[in-house]
């Protein structure tokens, strides 16, 4: 019955305003991606011989891999409506733990990596427990837990970078290639696929989205809200730790605060991504697009030799416009 | 409907018993030693005034709230229901009093939520869910939009989704807490049919409603709660509307009387709406509203009444047409302009549109008066505001133990009164009420309409949108809206339920 | 009154109370020196307490005020430019407490500073000029907000004056310095193919230089000389592995001890002593001397 | 009628569970403050001659003044339900602007300060416009605008610290005292009072709280939601700028990232404060208590000479427990 009503009315008003609406809707849905396209086209025009090469594409993807891991992980708490400010510190700590274990205890690479990821799992678990059991707002909780992670980091490494004497096989993780493409690119693509499946094709993922959309409704429908939130923090912690390990494997040593810088960039990527194709909802593909957009932006800055301040203006503008245009367009769609 | 399945001989019929259940909130005894029992194949109606404790009892059964004392037993075996999943596990399915949907999820996703624990590998069994959902659609005889995010659905479609979710699970007992509050009769009929099917297949239904005719029509037995304890249990056959009303309220209440609309016929026109449009929902609305007049707006779900009301206060911008207020053109750019001009809207969904849920009653009663302030830097006087809040609570009979309590702790009907009180504080000259008595008990409904008629008597002009056409009896005139246009105007004495329903459906030119 | 009292205490000689304002737990260069200074102080039986203002100047001022409250005999501040701690230094001075800076420069109230900038860049930049023969293209990865980096770039500028080296300068952000090094190097390499002119990359600290090394490995280039400063484990390893041409190392133990050695004098001299700058021992680490270097400082890779 | 019910019940159930409830309620309401009290008592016991002196009290308050300004400003967007991640960058920029104007254009102190605060107002306005007109999530918007502010900062100062040659009278703002109490303490107290009045005794403040409670309901009640949110960003920007100026006057120069560190500490203080006396609502007094708690913690660390890693563990724990204990207790109160 409703359907019939809607149809007949739609026909009646299929006038000029509907063209406008279609345009706005397209902008709303694809505006963010269009911005990325514009960036690529401009750069190709400006620096055809350097930018638009397959080498540079691989390079950009390779640069995206590490920030992608942490941002993809962050997407999970964001989906359930939580924040995680501890990811940068977790990444730093896990790198330090991995390198310390390899250096001081002579642990094998894979054992050390597992241990480092375990650290991430534990931090995620602590975050989750503080948030769901102590009922602390996730911003404060993760800020506090992150601060404690700095303390542990300091206790372990004493504020000094942890270098490996024999790091070749560890470096191989970042530097090795298969068919000319570095391993990190495969790692990124693989985990993106896994996480996409997790969020979109499993009950757990649906429950996460439900919790983010309306926790009360989710709870009343039998979703174990606390458990779902906890799991999202654990996933996030694990991926932050993975980021730390990959980061350490790039230089063969772990800097005490090596991962800290990824905090804001991960948020930027995830938020940028939330405007990709969807209306303010966090999702895996969006986050990946966000990470790659940021990487391409940085690549563009490096290639064109802009002054430092342009770099910041440009990044800020990218974020505001990338999200804003889509958002404005969607509002317009609703209005016309 | 008689409980054919619940005959003594049916050995398999299951039995749900809640014994001596008590629940306190702070100092308030919401539920006090309540005992009810429900058998498979019968409909037990739970009646009571707002705040009587019906929903609390339901929430205890659903594992959302934990009883202070008492027992729940299924087929004589005591069970502990500490979480919503446990309730689902025991075969209990619920439609709670408030809409509980995930806005960005589609209808199907909402219906599937929490229902698919059994799927392998933790993967979502989309196909199976869709099949189940279409079965539910068939049973309801209503096409629930499955693939549209529910935040794009009308309020009553959202309720259909909610109902669909409840029916998706194979349950032994179904609990419906005011499922029809937002339904028109047509949709309600569909629900009755489903309830009949359910009971025929041996499912027990616990049914809560403030619509007493409906209770009498579909239930087998009625338990009445008053102030948290059982005031009486009856076989439906032995009840009438007035005896049930008396059982609920504790004293006689007169039925809503048709108003004699002569008081305001000669009064000056206050609001004049000419060809107001905002396609696709409103495609041409024209009507006048006089001083001291109460005008009803009837229509089917999705006929555009809510949209019209939003246009009147500038919550949405009209695409065409004009509005004249007190002889001057009136084109509000937003609710602020409207409130300052004396036009207010009491929105239809109180939780999402009208209340600051976690804030105090006092603060909720002050929002509109802040919204109508001339300058943002005007002084706010907390003591004065407190006194005003206390006055409104008294005046409207809001049942609470203090204005500093969070509005969340009030029962649905009392929350609705807070919403009305908030707007009344701005002393509006035009009051638009969108479904003002959703979930309000007979006594309170009487009071709310008493308030409305009182306001009209004091010169305010009132537009009442309602899907409960019986209520529209209090109006001087009733407008009928169909497909976004006002298609008929009915004087008070002819505004019977049957006539209005016919006008809502009729495709031909009606007699205006 | 306070000044006289501290003076009296100082002359007593043995036991001092010292407050240390670190820079940030994430700054290994200063952390190393602070730690060895604290160790040396403990050895001599001095009472120390330290706080980490996490890189925030306002917090550092607060920390100095807290130490003034505690009436310590000496305050050591790491990395923060002494000019940018005005209120704190003033408070310390009026309480008669001298301040020693690690890398922040001297000023009124800060009579002694250990240089952390220009001197560190000297031997390595000389090496670079020698290696390139005074011509070619150079990518400079600088960091203007950091005082040590500014000093090092001054040294670089001074040495480049007489040469035919063409400079491309990039500002690296912190955090994100390693990745920025990689990115900038990659872009620069793309426009500077293998050719006749010598190519070099100079980082004002090791992290961006290590990032550049990573870029070289990714693109398979071996014609570019990379220079860094600080001697982090990663950099020394890169030198050892031949990926990096040189880094400059300052031994924290030596410098911490140097500071501890001057501490009694500074306390005795009080706030109005003549300003002086301590110069660190800087070791340029190159593939040629790296093995000897590691024998001498085995802790670097540990 | 209700009252009678209540009384009779109170009598009937004045048993063990009601004592428990009272205790939990007290912890819930005063738990956070009790933690602060505990800290003070412990410190007084440990360092009686240094900690519990009026000099040290003044010292702690003086140190609280700068972080208090920025955290108080941040409270406004938080009240309306928005975030502002640009405050740190705004503080940095305003300090650089003030010092540059004084140094290069020879502007008078008060003119330069006004100009710097104008910068904050403009950034706040831009934030507000991006959030309300472009309809961008406030986290992204302010992250983007903040990044642009860094760009402007670099453009002005080239990344170098801006020192003042003749800074005596400018330093006087931070160093001057009246009745033995430094000016910043008066500034803090004065602005706290003003902002308290603004939030609690004006229509604007009440509207902000309504917007934070339910923006849809506020809008339908006539509150001009967009305007109110915009104003809250502007206030926040102005106070961030004031922080930058005060910081510059305390350090005698402005660094390109001088104010950045205040971002997280302001959030920590505001969130800590949201657990003070009230349940998760942001309010002025709470924020002030949060700032002072952090300052006392820092003071305690300096006086007791804890190891650095303890500093981090302690700060993190303070945050988590301070908020968590109150939150847990309130949940308990509701349950019993
Ligand atoms: N979470 C809560 N905290 C405090 N008091 C509550 C809470 N929930 C319900 N109450 C109180 O318990 C009483 C019973 O409420 P309940 O919602 O069960 O009433 P109801 O019978 O369903 O009313 P209505 O018909 O209006 O829905 C009311 O007085 C209400 O104020
Ligand atoms: N936010 C929205 N987005 C898209 N369509 C909507 C939205 N809100 C309502 N509609 C559709 O607009 C039509 C008119 O809705 P409106 O709410 O004005 O009608 P109504 O007569 O008040 O009905 P109801 O009783 O459901 O409130 C309906 O078909 C509804 O599905
Ligand atoms: Mg109810
Ligand atoms: Mg409606």
Q: pLDDT band for position A12 (50/70/90)?
A: very low
* Tokens 């209306």, located at residue: A279
SS (H, E, C) B22-90: EEEECCEEEEEEEEEEEECCCEEEEEECCCCCHHHHHHHHCCCCCCCEEEEEECCEEECCCCHHHHHHC
Residues B163 and B309 in one domain: no
Residues B62 and B142 in one domain: no
Q: Which of residues 159-188 of B touch A (CB under 8 A)?
A: 165
What pLDDT, on a 0 to 100 scale, did the predictor assign at position A8?
34
- Which of A87-96, B121-130, D319-328 has the highest mean predicted lDDT (pLDDT)? A87-96
* Closest ligand 1 atom, residue D334 Cα: 3
Q: How many CA atoms are closer than 13 Å to the CA of A23, on its beta-carbon side?
A: 6
Question: Cα separation of B127 and B143, whole Å?
Answer: 18
Measure B411 CA to ligand 3 centroid, in angstroms: 6
What pLDDT, on a 0 to 100 scale, did the predictor assign at position B12?
56
Which of A231, A247, A215, A209 lies closest to A70, judged by CA? Answer: A247
What pLDDT, on a 0 to 100 scale, did the predictor assign at position A75?
94
Whether residue D85 is contained in a domain is answered as yes
Q: pLDDT band for position C139 (50/70/90)?
A: very high
Is any ligand 2 atom within 6 A of the Cβ of residue B304? yes
Q: Which residues contact C143 (CB under 8 A, 6 or more apart)?
A: C149, C171, C172, C174, C177, C204, C205, C208, D159
Question: Cα separation of D242 and D147, whole Å?
Answer: 19
Give the mean pLDDT of chain C.
Answer: 86
Whether residue B3 is contained in a domain is answered as no
Whether residue D21 is contained in a domain is answered as no
Q: pLDDT band for position C221 (50/70/90)?
A: confident
* More confident position, B214 or D113: D113
Q: Which of residues 288-307 of B touch D (CB under 8 A)?
A: none
Q: Is A180 strand, coil or helix?
A: coil
Residue A9 has pLDDT above 70, yes or no: no
What pLDDT, on a 0 to 100 scale, did the predictor assign at position A14?
40
> What is the mean pLDDT of the segment spanning B174-203?
83
> What is the mean pLDDT of the segment spanning B72-92?
88
Closest residue, chain A, to B86 (C-alpha): A222
A241 C-beta neighbours (distance < 10 Å), count: 33
Whether residue A247 is contained in a domain is answered as yes
CB–CB of A285/C55 below 8 Å? no
Give me the number of domains chain D comprises.
Answer: 1
Residue from B302, B345, B472 to probe ligand 2 pocket by mutation (most atoms less than 8 Å from CB) = B302
Q: Is D227 strand, coil or helix?
A: helix
Residues with CB under 5 A from ligand 4 (ion): B 306, 348
Measure B478 CA to ligand 4 centroid, in angstroms: 16
Q: Which of residues 89-148 of B touch A (CB under 8 A)?
A: 94, 96, 100-105, 109-110, 112-117, 119, 121-124, 142-143, 145
* Tokens 């570019």, located at residue: C224
Residue B234 has pLDDT above 80, yes or no: yes
For residue A288, the distance in angstroms to the closest alpha carbon of chain C comes to: 18
Which of C57, A309, C55, A261 lies closest to D243, judged by CA? Answer: C57
Q: pLDDT band for position A107 (50/70/90)?
A: confident
Residues B335 and B278 in one domain: yes
Interface test with A, best of D87, D126, D144, D308 (most A CBs within 10 A): D144
Is residue D301 less than 8 Å (CB to CB) from chain C?
Answer: yes
The interface predicted TM-score (ipTM) is 0.84
Q: pLDDT band for position A3 (50/70/90)?
A: very low
Q: pLDDT band for position B7 (50/70/90)?
A: very low
Q: What are phi and psi of B205, to 5 degrees?
A: -120, 125
What pLDDT, on a 0 to 100 scale, did the predictor assign at position B11?
44
Query: Which chains pack against A, by 3+ Cβ pairs within 8 A?
Result: B, C, D
Q: Which of residues 2-21 of C touch D (CB under 8 A)?
A: 19
CB–CB of B90/B69 below 8 Å? no
Is residue A18 less than 8 Å (CB to CB) from chain B?
Answer: no
Residue A27 has pLDDT above 80, yes or no: no
Is residue D188 less than 8 Å (CB to CB) from chain C?
Answer: no
In this structure, the residues whose C-beta lies within 6 A of any atom of ligand 1 are B 25, 28, 30, 48, 50-56, 97, 409-413, 439, 441
Question: Cα separation of D210 and A290, whole Å?
Answer: 34
Please tell me which of the candidates C63, C65, C84 has its beta carbon nearest to residue D251: C84
Q: Considering Cα of B105, then B109, then B115, then B116, what sign does the dihedral take? A: negative
For B345, the domain range is 261-508
Helix (H) or strand (E) holding C69: helix C57-70
> Max alpha carbon distance in chain B (Å)?
74
Is residue A159 less than 8 Å (CB to CB) from chain C?
Answer: yes
Question: Cα separation of D40 and D48, whole Å?
Answer: 10
Residue A11 has pLDDT above 70, yes or no: no
What pLDDT, on a 0 to 100 scale, did the predictor assign at position A24?
76
Whether residue D22 is contained in a domain is answered as no
Final residue belonging to a domain, choices B154, B171, B188: B171
* Tokens 């769609």, located at residue: A333
Whether residue A9 is contained in a domain is answered as no
Q: Give ∠ CA D141-D143-D146 in degrees, rounded to 5.
A: 105
Q: What is the DSSP string of B92-161?
A: EEEE-SS----TTSBHHHHHHTTT-TT-GGGB--HHHHHHHHHHHHHHHTS----SSBGGGS-HHHHHHH
What pLDDT, on a 0 to 100 scale, did the predictor assign at position B511?
43
Measure B154 CA to ligand 2 centroid, in angstroms: 4
Is residue D331 less than 8 Å (CB to CB) from chain A?
Answer: yes
CB–CB of C65/C94 below 8 Å? no
What pLDDT, on a 0 to 100 scale, did the predictor assign at position C191?
83
Whether residue A14 is contained in a domain is answered as no
Question: Cα separation of D154 and A316, whole Å?
Answer: 14
Please tell me which of the candidates C50, C90, C150 has its beta carbon nearest to residue D175: C90
Q: What are phi and psi of C11, to 5 degrees?
A: -70, -25
Query: Residue ranges of the alpha helices (H) in B334-411?
Result: 335-341, 350-353, 361-364, 367-371, 382-396
Whether residue B83 is contained in a domain is answered as yes
Q: Which of residues 158-187 of C touch A (CB under 8 A)?
A: 168, 170-171, 173-176, 178-180, 182-184, 186-187
Residues B406 and B420 in one domain: yes
CB–CB of A256/A159 below 8 Å? yes
C-D contacts (CB, under 8 Å): 118
Question: Cα separation of A176 and A283, whole Å?
Answer: 30
Pairing verdict, β D162-163 and D253-254: antiparallel
Whether residue D46 is contained in a domain is answered as yes
> What is the mean pLDDT of the segment spanning B116-140?
76
In this predicted model, what pLDDT tens digit does every residue of A276-286 receive, in sequence order?
777 778 889 98
Is residue A81 less than 8 Å (CB to CB) from chain D?
Answer: no
* Tokens 């330093």, located at residue: D171
Is any ligand 2 atom within 6 A of the Cβ of residue B160? no
Burial class (CB in 10 A: 0-12, 13-18, 19+), B262: exposed
Residue B8 has pLDDT above 60, yes or no: no
For residue D279, the distance in angstroms to the closest alpha carbon of chain B comes to: 10
Residues B70 and B117 in one domain: no
- Which of A21-25, A277-281, B328-332 has the highest mean predicted lDDT (pLDDT)? B328-332
What pLDDT, on a 0 to 100 scale, did the predictor assign at position A71?
95
In the DSSP assignment, the letter for residue B183 is -
For A280, the domain range is 34-335
CB–CB of B174/B203 below 8 Å? yes
Question: Cα separation of A35 and A321, whole Å?
Answer: 9
Closest residue, chain A, to B281 (C-alpha): A9
What pLDDT, on a 0 to 100 scale, did the predictor assign at position B376?
83
Question: Cα separation of B448 and B210, whole Å?
Answer: 14
Measure A238 CA to ligand 2 centroid, in angstroms: 44
Residues B121 and B241 in one domain: no
Query: Which chains pack against D, by 3+ Cβ pairs within 8 A?
Result: A, B, C
Final residue belonging to a domain, choices B149, B171, B193: B171
What pLDDT, on a 0 to 100 scale, did the predictor assign at position A149?
93
Residues B430 and B340 in one domain: yes
Whether residue A126 is contained in a domain is answered as yes
Whether residue B4 is contained in a domain is answered as no
Is the pTM of the predicted complex or chain greater than 0.80? yes
Final residue belonging to a domain, choices B252, B281, B304: B252
CATH at D94: 1.10.3470
Contact at CB, A203 and B119, closer than 8 angstroms? yes
B-D contacts (CB, under 8 Å): 117
Q: What are phi and psi of D283, to 5 degrees?
A: -155, 160
Contact at CB, A252 and C234, closer than 8 angstroms? yes
Contact at CB, A253 and C237, closer than 8 angstroms? yes
> What is the mean pLDDT of the segment spanning B361-376?
88
Measure C271 CA to ligand 1 centroid, in angstroms: 72
Residues B36 and B83 in one domain: yes
Residues B471 and B328 in one domain: yes
In this predicted model, what pLDDT tens digit does every residue of B295-313 receive, in sequence order?
999 987 778 899 999 999 9
CB–CB of B296/B479 below 8 Å? yes
> What is the mean pLDDT of the segment spanning C101-108?
89
Burial call B5-33: b when 16+ CB within 10 Å, e when fewer? bbeeeeeebbbbbbeebbbbebbbbbbbe
> What is the mean pLDDT of the segment spanning C213-220?
86
Give me the number of domains chain B comprises.
Answer: 3
Q: pLDDT band for position C259 (50/70/90)?
A: very high
In this predicted model, what pLDDT tens digit does every residue of B423-462 receive, in sequence order?
988 889 999 999 888 777 777 788 888 888 888 888 899 9
Tens digits of pLDDT across chain D (336 residues): 333 333 333 334 444 456 777 777 777 777 778 888 888 888 888 888 888 888 888 888 998 999 999 999 999 999 999 999 999 999 999 999 999 998 888 888 899 999 999 999 999 999 999 999 988 888 889 999 999 999 999 889 887 788 887 778 888 888 888 888 899 999 999 999 999 999 999 999 999 999 998 999 999 999 999 999 999 999 999 999 999 999 999 888 888 888 888 888 898 899 888 877 776 788 999 999 999 988 888 888 878 877 778 888 888 888 888 888 877 777 776 655
What pLDDT, on a 0 to 100 scale, did the predictor assign at position A127?
95
D114 C-beta neighbours (distance < 10 Å), count: 15
CATH at B205: 3.40.50.300
Q: Is D329 strand, coil or helix?
A: helix
Is any ligand 2 atom within 6 A of the Cβ of residue B311? no
Interface test with B, best of D203, D281, D282 (most B CBs within 10 A): D203
- Which of A257-266, B493-502, C121-130, D116-125 has the highest mean predicted lDDT (pLDDT)? D116-125
In this predicted model, what pLDDT tens digit does every residue of A171-215 receive, in sequence order?
888 888 888 888 999 999 999 999 999 998 888 888 899 999 888
Whether residue B56 is contained in a domain is answered as yes
In this predicted model, what pLDDT tens digit does every residue of B16-58 receive, in sequence order?
889 999 998 776 788 989 999 898 889 999 988 877 888 899 9
């Amino acid at each position: 019955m409703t359907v019939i009503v809607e149809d007949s009315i739609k026909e009646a008003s299929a006038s000029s305003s509907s063209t406008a609406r279609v345009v706005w809707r397209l902008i709303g849905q694809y505006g963010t991606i269009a911005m990325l396209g514009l960036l690529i086209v401009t750069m190709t025009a400006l620096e055809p011989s350097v930018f638009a090469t397959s080498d540079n594409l691989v390079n950009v993807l390779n640069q995206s891999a590490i920030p992608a891991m942490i941002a993809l992980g962050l997407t999970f708490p964001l989906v359930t409506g939580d924040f995680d400010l501890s990811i940068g510190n977790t990444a730093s700590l896990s790198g330090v733990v991995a390198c310390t274990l390899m250096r001081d205890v002579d642990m094998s690479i894979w054992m050390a990596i597992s241990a480092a990821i375990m650290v991430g799992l534990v931090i995620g678990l602590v975050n989750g427990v503080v948030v769901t059991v102590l009922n602390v707002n996730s911003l404060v909780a993760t800020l506090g837990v992150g601060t404690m992670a700095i303390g542990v980091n300091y206790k372990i490494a004493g504020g000094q970078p942890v270098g490996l004497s024999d790091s070749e096989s560890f470096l191989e993780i970042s530097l090795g290639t298969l068919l000319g493409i570095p391993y990190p690119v495969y790692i990124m693509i693989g985990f993106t696929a896994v996480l996409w499946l997790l969020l979109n094709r499993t009950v757990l993922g649906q429950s996460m989205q439900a919790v983010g959309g309306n926790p009360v409704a989710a709870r009343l429908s039998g979703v174990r809200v606390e458990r779902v939130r906890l799991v999202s923090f654990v996933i996030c912690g694990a991926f932050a730790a993975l980021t730390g390990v990959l980061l350490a494997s790039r230089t063969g040593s772990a800097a005490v605060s090596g991962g800290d810088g990824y905090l804001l960039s991960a948020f930027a990527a995830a938020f940028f991504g939330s405007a990709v194709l969807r209306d303010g909802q966090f999702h895996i593909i969006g986050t990946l697009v966000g990470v790659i957009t940021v990487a391409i932006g940085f690549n563009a800055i490096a290639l064109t030799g802009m002054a430092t301040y342009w770099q910041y203006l440009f990044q800020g503008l990218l974020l505001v416009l990338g999200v804003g245009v889509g958002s404005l367009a969607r509002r317009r769609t609703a209005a016309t | 409907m008689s409980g054919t399945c619940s005959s003594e001989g049916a050995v398999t019929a299951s039995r749900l018993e809640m014994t001596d259940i008590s629940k306190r909130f702070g100092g308030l005894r919401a539920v006090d030693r309540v005992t009810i029992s429900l058998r498979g194949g019968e409909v037990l109606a739970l009646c009571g005034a707002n705040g009587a404790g019906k929903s609390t009892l339901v929430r205890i059964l659903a594992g959302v709230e934990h009883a202070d004392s008492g027992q729940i037993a299924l087929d004589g075996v005591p069970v502990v229901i500490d979480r919503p999943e446990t309730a689902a596990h025991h075969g209990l399915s619920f439609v709670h009093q408030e809409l509980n949907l995930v806005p960005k999820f589609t209808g199907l996703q909402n219906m599937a939520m929490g229902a698919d624990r059994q799927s392998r590998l933790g993967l979502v069994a989309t196909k199976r869910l869709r099949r189940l959902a279409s079965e539910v659609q068939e049973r309801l005889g209503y096409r629930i939009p499955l693939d549209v995010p529910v935040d794009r659905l009308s309020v009553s479609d959202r309720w259909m989704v909610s109902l669909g979710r409840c029916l998706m699970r194979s349950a032994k007992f179904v609990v419906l807490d005011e499922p029809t509050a937002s339904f028109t009769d047509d949709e309600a009929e569909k629900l009755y049919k489903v309830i009949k099917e359910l009971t025929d297949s041996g499912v027990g239904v616990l049914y809560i409603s403030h619509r007493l005719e409906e209770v009498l029509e579909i239930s087998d037995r009625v338990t009445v709660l008053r102030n948290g304890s059982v005031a009486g249990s009856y076989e439906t056959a032995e009840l009438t509307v007035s005896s049930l009303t008396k059982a609920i309220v504790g004293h006689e209440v007169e039925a809503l009387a048709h108003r004699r609309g002569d008081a305001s016929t000669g009064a000056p026109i206050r609001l004049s709406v000419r060809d107001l449009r905002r396609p696709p929902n409103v495609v041409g609305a024209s009507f006048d509203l006089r001083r001291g007049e109460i005008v009803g707006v009837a229509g089917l779900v999705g006929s555009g009444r809510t949209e019209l009301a939003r246009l009147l206060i500038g919550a949405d911008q009209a695409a065409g047409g004009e509005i004249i207020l007190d002889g001057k053109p009136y084109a509000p750019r937003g609710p602020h302009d409207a409130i300052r001009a004396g036009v207010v809207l009491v929105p239809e969904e109180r939780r999402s549109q009208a209340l600051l849920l976690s804030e105090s009653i006092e603060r909720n009663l002050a929002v509109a008066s802040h919204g109508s302030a001339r300058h943002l830097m005007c002084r706010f006087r907390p003591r004065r505001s407190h006194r005003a809040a206390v006055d409104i609570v008294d005046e409207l009979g809001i049942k609470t133990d203090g204005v500093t309590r969070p509005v969340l702790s009030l029962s649905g009907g009392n929350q609705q009164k807070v919403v009305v009180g908030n707007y009344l504080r701005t002393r509006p000259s035009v009051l638009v009420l969108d479904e003002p008595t959703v979930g309000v008990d007979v006594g309170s409904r009487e009071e709310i309409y008493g308030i409305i008629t009182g306001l009209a008597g004091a010169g305010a002009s009132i537009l009442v949108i309602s899907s409960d056409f019986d209520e529209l009896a209090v109006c001087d005139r009733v407008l009928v809206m169909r497909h976004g246009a006002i298609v008929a105007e009915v004087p008070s004495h002819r505004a019977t339920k049957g006539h209005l329903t016919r006008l809502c459906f009729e495709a031909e030119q009606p007699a205006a | 009154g306070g000044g006289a009292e501290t003076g009296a205490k100082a002359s007593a000689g043995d036991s001092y109370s010292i407050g240390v304002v670190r820079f940030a737990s994430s700054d290994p260069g200063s952390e190393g020196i602070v730690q060895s200074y604290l160790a040396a102080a403990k050895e001599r039986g001095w009472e120390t307490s330290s706080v980490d203002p996490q890189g925030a100047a306002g917090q550092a001022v607060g920390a100095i005020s807290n130490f003034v409250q505690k009436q310590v005999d000496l305050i050591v501040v790491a990395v923060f430019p002494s000019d940018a701690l005005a209120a704190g230094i003033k408070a310390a001075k009026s309480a008669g407490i001298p301040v020693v800076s690690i890398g922040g420069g001297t000023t009124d109230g800060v009579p002694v500073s250990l240089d952390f900038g220009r001197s560190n860049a000297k031997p390595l930049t000389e090496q670079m000029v020698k290696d390139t023969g005074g011509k070619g293209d150079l990518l400079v990865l600088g960091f203007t907000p950091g005082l040590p980096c500014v000093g090092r770039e001054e040294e670089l500028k001074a040495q480049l004056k007489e040469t035919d080296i063409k400079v491309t300068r990039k500002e690296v952000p912190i955090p994100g310095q390693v990745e920025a090094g990689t990115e900038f190097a990659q872009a620069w390499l793309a426009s500077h193919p293998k050719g006749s002119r010598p190519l070099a990359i100079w980082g004002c600290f090791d992290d961006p230089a290590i990032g550049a090394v990573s870029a070289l490995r990714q693109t398979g280039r071996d014609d570019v000389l990379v220079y860094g400063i600080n001697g982090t484990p990663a950099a020394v390893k890169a030198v050892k592995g031949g990926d990096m041409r040189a880094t400059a190392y300052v031994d924290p133990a030596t410098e911490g001890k140097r500071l501890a050695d001057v501490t009694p004098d500074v306390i005795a001299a009080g706030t109005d002593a003549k300003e002086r700058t301590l110069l660190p021992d800087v070791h340029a680490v190159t593939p040629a001397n790296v093995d000897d270097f590691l024998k001498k400082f085995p802790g670097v890779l540990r």
